Amino acid sequence: AEMGRAFVYVILGGGVAAGYAALEFSRKGISPGDLCIISEESVVPYERPALSKGFLLPEAPARLPSFHTCVGANDERLTPKWYREHGIELVLGTRVRSVDVRRKTLLTATGETISYKILIVATGARALKLEEFGVKGSEAENVCYLRNVADATRLVNVMQSCVGGNAVVIGGGYIGMECAASLVINKINVTVVFPEAHCMARLFTPKIAQYYEDYYKSKGVKFVKGTVLSSFETNSEGKVTAVTLRDGTRLPADMVVVGIGIRANTSLFDDQLTLEKGGIKVNGRLQTSNSSVYAVGDVAAFPVKIFNEIRRLEHVDSARKSARHAVAAIMEPNKTGDFDYLPFFYSRVFTLSWQFYGDNVGEAVHFGDFSDKTFGAYWVYKGQITGSFLEGCSKEEYEAIAKLTRLRPMVQDLDELAKQGLEFALKN
């Protein structure tokens, strides 16, 4: 193997968490040559959420370099020039093949050995493939997954060749729902297929889901629920022409978008670090079972203090904040306490926009006008508000439910809570 380079800090992965960690390192004061980022992607870190939203717009779509991190948090946009000026070494387009946490070295696919004193694992996650559920054919050129900018570029090309045609979206989660909206905006007829009784089943109540499904239907989207696909029909060129569902339905398709969940990229560490909940287990300092190795973002399973539980979250806010916290813990160990994070999820589709804070456990108490544009829900668990959801509101109103959820007030009368609705958060 080639002789290797040595760094004080290495970030493995070049996604959202890597970008926010780099900015935090520069602010805490690193020297040129201290930090290296190794990424399989060929571009510097960017705000991944753009890929299912602005990137897919038919008019004035978002393109790099406009959405490099950290613009998503209204912070500095880190271009390749920024990394150069800060003496941060970028090893892009390069997959790390193995890591030896005992010897503190990484081996890249190009055969280079890179050593570190401290490693931050920010490998994120990969999209699950239909093949993993026993369905063949998802390598066809008009079947799209969506995880990185290469996938998104391919999706745009396929979409542009299908205007006026039919798309089948597999999965009713975040990717499925956001891509379905983007496909509609691109004048493609959309059918969304998923196994659950309603969309966004991990988060939405049936009542919340109904609102969004009705809205999508008003835009022409069809839903086929409670079933999964069983096979693809392909033509002689290997293109998918239709999908067949387990319930026997056959849907003609000019293209297919698949969003059936993710797996955290832990495999380099499966035998070397403690894992939990499908991720790399860390403590409140984002430190793994090896004290020289930290893990952040989608790949990390960290203690969520307010729930007194280890969770692995798959959302951008948690990637940003866990990355910053890990760097603070590394650079200012005495000033940095345990990560105290309130889970925050959001989505934007068409002209709709919602935010969620906390945990969706216990009883859901809906409020507001579901026939209009603004409504929400609180989740009450063991007499306390533990989660809150809001659609169509202002920044101040979202901040109010965030604050309320962090306070976790006791509530006695759920009917009264429903009646007060958003007012309850605003007056607290």
Task: Tell whether the torsion through CA atoms of 175, 181, 185 and 189 is positive or negative.
Answer: positive
Between CA 43 and CA 65 the distance in angstroms is 9
Binds ligand FDA by CB under 6 A, chosen from 9, 11, 14, 204: 14
Q: Does 260 bind ligand NAD (CB under 6 A)?
A: yes
Q: Does 312 bind ligand FDA (CB under 6 A)?
A: no
Q: Does 315 bind ligand NAD (CB under 6 A)?
A: yes
Q: Does 13 bind ligand NAD (CB under 6 A)?
A: no
Task: Indicate the residue among 99 and 300 with the shorter CB distance to ligand NAD.
Answer: 300
Q: Does 146 bind ligand FDA (CB under 6 A)?
A: yes
- The DSSP code sequence of 120-139 is EE---EEEPPGGGGT---TT
Q: Does 22 bind ligand FDA (CB under 6 A)?
A: no
The site for ligand NAD, by CB under 6 A, has a size of: 24
Between CA 52 and CA 180 the distance in angstroms is 10
Count the residues in the chain. Answer: 428
Q: Which two tokens stand for residue 205?
A: 């109540």
Element spanning 420, H or E? helix 414-420
Tell which residue, 347, 272, 285, has the closest CA to residue 314: 347
Binds ligand NAD by CB under 6 A, chosen from 97, 111, 133, 407: 133
Task: Indicate the residue among 101 and 152 with the shorter CB distance to ligand NAD.
Answer: 152
Q: Does 89 bind ligand NAD (CB under 6 A)?
A: no
- Helix axis angle for 174-185 and 206-218, nearest 10°, is 20
Task: Indicate the residue among 256 and 262 with the shorter CB distance to ligand NAD.
Answer: 262
Produce one character per residue of 141-166: b if its CB has 16 or more CB atoms within 10 Å, e if not: ebbbbbbbbeebeebbebbeebeeeb
To ligand FDA, the closest distance from the beta carbon of 18 in angstroms equals 6
- Where do contacts with ligand NAD occur on this chain (CB under 6 A)? 52, 133, 170-176, 178, 194-196, 201-202, 228, 259-262, 314-315, 345, 347
- Where do contacts with ligand FDA occur on this chain (CB under 6 A)? 13-18, 38-41, 48-49, 51-52, 95-96, 122-125, 146-147, 265, 268, 297-299, 314-317, 319, 345-347
